[in-house]
Amino acid sequence: MGFQYLIIDDCWMERFRDTITQKLQPDRERFPSGMAALSHYIHGRGLKFGIYHDVGRKTCMFGGPGALGHFQLDAQTFADWGADYVKLDGCFATEYQRDTGYPAFGNAMNRTGRQMVYSCSWPFYKEEPDYRLIAKHCNLWRFGADIKDSYTSVFEIMELYRRNQQYLLAHAGPGRWNDPDMLVLGNFHLSYEASRLQLAIWSVIAAPLIMTNDLETVRPEIKQLLQNREIIAINQDLLGIPGRCVRTSTHFQVWLRPVTPVNDLGKHSFAVAFVNRGNFSHCPLCPRPFKVVLEHLGLDSPTGYYVVDLFKSSRHLGMFKPNDAFSTRINPEGVTFYKFTVAPLL
């Protein structure tokens, strides 16, 4: 459980392939010992090695050589380097090249014989993605635009997921994950409340938790969030059932995910995130109370639920039955996050 992969994003390569072998070449100044040596170094520290590539002619930001026309060669190169994860972007390609290229590159990865996680940007480039087909070929898929270091960007991605959750949930599960993009908490702009919000919602929807920050400059309070074992356990729950937004209004949202344990009645435990969107005309920056009867959210086990505040794991709130009202107080543009552990059948 926890963060396992160290992933090198775009700009790692030379601008041209090797003239003799046609293989990709790492930047000689940034990686003078080569990628196989870097992979060995990462593996030696108990982590896994990930790398970026593009299905088209060139990579998105750097403009380095893409995979088009070299699928098997590049997949084998990554396998030879000991890669455990490949992110394949979709720039500088036609829709036809993407629709044929993403499955073809996945098949090429499989033919290498090395197990590698396959991250696709395929649906981002399509107006009406076929998630059934995408889930057949990819382990995770980016469904929205690149995230920015702001509350607005985080909430826009939440809204994109909410509006499309019927389709995003239909084919997601173990080995097939919706990817809303990386965690931006730990950078410079996102507030503490918005940092809590992103971590909670990404965990509810079973998103891959991939940090994009300078670990040496992460503030202590954000480091504490990123190392919250209870929330990571929700994100990586063994059932692998992604959550959804079950209530939304002008001011509030409720997001819910079924998790372990499950009792003898077949009733799940749940992770529940309560979101204060703000937008109040009176005192828009004030915390707001929110109350809901549990059975109205689908928490209907007659045995009841033991409740823990996931941001304060030592804070046990007691036992709640389905007809009990649960109250919480939420900071503006923030979240409260709880685990409702279903009680066993006695």
Return the pLDDT at 169.
96
Q: Calculate what percentage of the chain has a pLDDT beyond 90.
A: 94
Element (H, E) at 37: helix 35-43
**pLDDT digits over 236-275, tens only?**
999 999 999 999 998 899 999 999 999 999 999 999 999 9
**Would you say residue 281 has pLDDT above 70?**
no
For residue 59, what pLDDT is reported? 97
DSSP 173-225: BTTBEEE---B-TTSSSS-HHHHHHHHHHHHHTT----B-S-TTT--HHHHHH
Q: What is the pLDDT of residues 187-232, one digit of tens each?
A: 989 999 999 999 999 999 999 999 999 999 999 999 999 999 999 9
Annotation says 89 is catalytic: yes
Q: What is the mean pLDDT of the chain?
A: 96
Question: Rounded to 5 degrees, what angle do the CA atoms 141, 142, 147 make?
Answer: 155
Residue type, 127: E
User: Quick one: pLDDT band at residue 278, thresholds 50, 70, 90?
Assistant: confident
Between CA 50 and CA 6 the distance in angstroms is: 6
Per-residue pLDDT band at 118 (split at 50, 70, 90): very high
Confidence of residue 1 (pLDDT cuts 50, 70, 90): confident
Q: Round to the nearest angstrom and report the end-to-end CA distance of the chain.
A: 31
Closest CA to 23 of 86, 60, 75, 58: 75
CATH number of 244-342: 2.60.40.1180
Looking at the domain covering 5-236, what would its CATH class be? alpha beta
9 is catalytic: no
What does the pLDDT read at residue 286?
A: 80
- Tokens representing 308? 């823990």
Partners of residue 341 on adjacent β-strands: 306
Domain boundaries for CATH 3.20.20.70 within the chain? 5-236
Q: In this structure, are residues 68 and 75 in contact, taking their beta carbons and an 8 Å threshold? A: no
Angle, helices 35-43/71-81, rounded to nearest 10 degrees: 50
For position 304, what pLDDT does the model report?
Answer: 98
In the set 54, 84, 89, 237, the catalytic residue is 89
Q: Which of 139, 147, 162 is nearest to 253 (CA)?
A: 162
pTM for the whole thing?
0.96
Strand partners, 316: 308
Return the pLDDT at 284.
Answer: 67
Token pair for 300: 């209907």
Q: How many CB atoms lie within 10 A of CB 306?
A: 15
Distance CA 12, CA 24 (A): 10
| Contact (Cβ atoms closer than 8 angstroms) between residue 195 and residue 166 | no
Instruction: Please pick, among 146, 214, 264, 300, the residue that the annotation labels catalytic.
Output: 146
- Every domain range in the chain assigned CATH 2.60.40.1180: 244-342
